[in-house]
A = this chain, B = another copy of it.
Amino acid sequence: MNSERYQRGQATLSSIHGHVGEGVMKQLADIAPDFARMIIEFPYGDIYSRGVLSAKERQIATIASLATLGHAPTELKAHIQGGLNVGCTRQEIVEILMQMAVYAGFPAALNGLMVAKDLFAELDQKPPSD
């Protein structure tokens, strides 16, 4: 847990997801703690920390991929929030999801937009201190 990869991954994870990412790690703690560690080390420590692409460009790619998969709405929601956190506007998120109609079909795009709509509504109901 003190490896350089883990430390770097933890920092990158926090820069994208804030404290929300900790929830997934806690859910995994009793069933697959090594997988929680690997999520921090590989996607965040190895991949997202590489530079070359900006944090915003990486979230665009991830949102496109998750909307295309279609079966991961929880992860899509987390990465739409991550996209907002690193500088995407809501309008940009909507455009990425609309564009997925071309490649993954209208249902995948529509379901992605419904995930974004849910998140945006939650954000509008939260007090600003959140």
- Could you tell me which A residues sit within 8 Å of B by CB distance? 24, 27-28, 30-32, 34-35, 38-39, 42-43, 46-48, 50, 52-53, 57-58, 60-72, 74-75, 91-92, 94-111, 113-114, 116-117, 120
- A53, A96, A103, A113 pick with most chain B CB within 10 angstroms: A103
Please state if B94 and A32 are interface contacts (CB–CB under 8 Å): yes
Q: How far is the CA of A68 from the CA of B119 in the complex (A)?
A: 24
With both beta carbons as reference points, the residue of chain B lying nearest to A37 in the complex is identified as: B46
* A34 neighbours in B (Cβ, 8 Å): 50, 98
The answer to whether A31 and B113 have CB atoms under 8 Å apart is: yes
A68 in contact with B69 (CB, 8 Å): yes
